[in-house]
C-alpha cells in the first residue's frame, strides 16, 4: 500500500506540474468552466475531435504544427512580428491550449467567445514580410494554411502516438469536426475529409520555403526551448518525434535531417513512451479496490 501511495503521489505531482505549464495559473478554473458549465457543446461525447484533442499525442502534434506552419513566409512573418513566441512562449502555449480545449469540450457560447477573441486579434496583425510582401493574419488564404497545418499535424500525431488511433471514418470525422472551428475563424471551405486535407496541403507546397525566420524558429523549438534541465530530455524526445512525422519536403527547407532507420527504431518508440508517460501522469488513477 505504501508503494502504491507513493506512486500515486508522484503521479499527481508530475501531472500537476505538466498541467500548470500547459494551462497556466488559470488552468484549474478554466478546466472547471470547460467541463462543468451546463449547456450545449459544439461536439458531442465520442466525436473524433474530442478523442484527438484530449490525447497526450497533442504535445507531438503541436510541435509539428508549428514547424509546418513556419514554412509559409507570410505566416512566419506574422508569427515573428506579433506572436511573442520567444518572449512569452508559455503564455502563447497556455492561450493555445485553452482555445483548443474550449472549442472541443466547452459550452457553445464560450467556444464562440474564444473564436471572436482570436478573430479580433487577427484583425490587428498586419505588416510587411522581409521579402516586401504585405501580410494580414485575417487573410483567408493564410488562415487556411494555419488551419490545415494544424489539422494534419494533430491527426498524424494521434494516428502514430494516440491511445486509440482512429479508423478511416474517424479520421474523416476529425477533419470534418475541426473544419467547423476553421470555418468559424474565417477559413473558406475548409477540407472535410482526410483526402481533401492532403490535397489542400499539396496545393500550398509551391508557396512554402525555409526562410531565415523559419529556421530560427525551428532552432528555438527544437534546440533551445525555455525549459528546466529536468524537462529537456523528455521534451527533446517529443521534438524528435514531431520532426519524424514531417515529410521530406518540409524538413529540407528547415535543415532538419531525415534518418529513417533511427526514427523507426529509436525516435518513435521513445516518443510513444514519453507520450504514454504524460498520459499516465495527467490521468487520474483508478479508485482503489475495497479489500
pLDDT for the residue numbered 237: 96
The average pLDDT across 6-18 equals 70
Ordered alpha helix ranges (H), the chain: 2-23, 27-36, 48-53, 58-69, 73-82, 89-105, 108-124, 140-161, 168-185, 194-204, 212-222, 229-244, 248-251, 260-262, 268-282
pLDDT for the residue numbered 284: 64
Backbone angles phi, psi at 49, to 5 degrees: -65, -30
Nearest one of 42, 20, 39, 40 to 31, comparing CA atoms? 20
Enumerate the β-bridge partners of residue 238.
Answer: none
DSSP-derived pairing of the beta strands 126-128 and 134-136:
antiparallel
C-alpha cell at 42: 459544439
C-alpha cell at 138: 485575417
C-alpha cell at 54: 484530449
pLDDT band (50, 70, 90) for residue 87: low
CB 190 within 8 A of CB 216: no
DSSP 212-274: HHHHHHHHHHHT-----HHHHHHHHHHHHHHHHTS-HHHHGGGT----HHHIIIIIHHHHHHH
> Which residues, other chains included, contact 275 with Cβ-Cβ below 8 Å and sequence gap of 6+?
56, 57, 59, 60, 161, 238, 241
Dihedral in degrees, nearest 10, Cα atoms 75, 243, 192, 94: -60
Nearest one of 110, 100, 109, 58 to 245, comparing CA atoms? 58
Specify the residue for cell string 485575417. 138
Could you report the per-residue pLDDT of 183-203, keeping only the tens digit for each? 999 999 999 999 999 999 999
Any idea where the domains of the chain sit in the sequence?
A: 40-279
The dihedral built from the CA positions of residue 252, 254, 259 and 265, taken in this order, carries a sign that is: negative
pLDDT at 3 over 80: no
pLDDT for the residue numbered 283: 82
CB 41 within 8 A of CB 105: yes
pLDDT band (50, 70, 90) for residue 90: confident
CB 129 within 8 A of CB 73: yes
The average pLDDT across 121-147 equals 96
pLDDT for the residue numbered 6: 63
pLDDT higher at 171 or 89: 171
pLDDT for the residue numbered 19: 73
pLDDT higher at 19 or 223: 223
Amino acid at each position: 500500500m505504501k508503494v502504491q501511495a507513493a506512486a500515486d503521489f508522484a503521479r499527481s505531482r508530475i501531472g500537476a506540474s505538466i498541467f500548470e505549464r500547459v494551462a497556466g495559473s488559470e488552468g484549474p478554473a478554466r478546466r472547471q468552466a470547460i467541463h462543468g458549465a451546463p449547456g450545449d457543446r459544439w461536439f458531442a461525447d465520442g466525436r473524433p475531435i474530442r478523442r484527438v484533442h484530449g490525447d497526450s499525442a497533442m504535445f507531438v502534434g503541436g510541435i509539428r504544427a508549428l514547424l509546418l506552419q513556419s514554412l509559409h513566409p507570410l505566416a512566419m512573418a506574422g508569427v515573428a512580428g506579433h506572436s511573442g513566441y520567444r518572449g512569452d512562449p508559455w503564455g502563447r502555449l497556455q492561450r493555445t491550449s485553452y482555445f483548443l480545449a474550449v472549442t472541443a469540450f466547452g459550452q457553445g457560447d464560450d467556444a464562440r467567445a474564444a473564436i471572436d477573441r482570436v478573430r479580433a486579434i487577427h484583425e490587428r496583425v498586419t505588416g510587411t514580410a522581409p521579402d516586401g510582401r504585405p501580410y494580414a493574419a485575417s487573410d483567408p488564404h493564410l488562415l487556411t494554411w494555419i488551419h490545415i497545418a494544424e489539422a494534419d499535424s494533430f491527426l498524424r500525431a494521434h494516428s502514430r502516438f494516440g491511445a486509440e488511433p482512429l479508423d478511416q471514418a474517424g479520421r474523416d470525422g476529425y477533419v470534418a469536426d475541426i473544419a467547423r472551428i476553421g470555418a468559424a475563424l474565417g477559413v473558406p471551405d475548409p477540407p472535410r475529409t482526410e483526402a481533401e486535407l492532403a490535397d489542400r496541403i499539396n496545393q500550398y507546397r509551391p508557396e512554402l520555403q525555409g526562410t531565415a525566420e523559419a529556421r530560427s524558429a525551428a532552432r528555438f523549438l527544437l534546440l533551445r526551448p525555455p525549459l528546466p534541465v529536468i524537462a529537456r530530455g523528455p521534451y527533446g524526445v517529443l521534438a524528435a518525434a514531431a520532426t519524424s512525422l514531417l515529410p521530406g519536403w518540409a524538413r529540407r527547407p528547415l535543415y532538419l535531417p531525415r534518418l529513417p532507420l533511427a526514427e523507426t527504431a529509436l525516435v518513435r518508440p521513445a516518443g510513444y513512451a514519453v507520450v504514454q508517460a504524460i498520459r499516465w501522469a495527467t490521468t487520474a488513477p483508478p479508485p482503489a479496490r475495497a479489500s
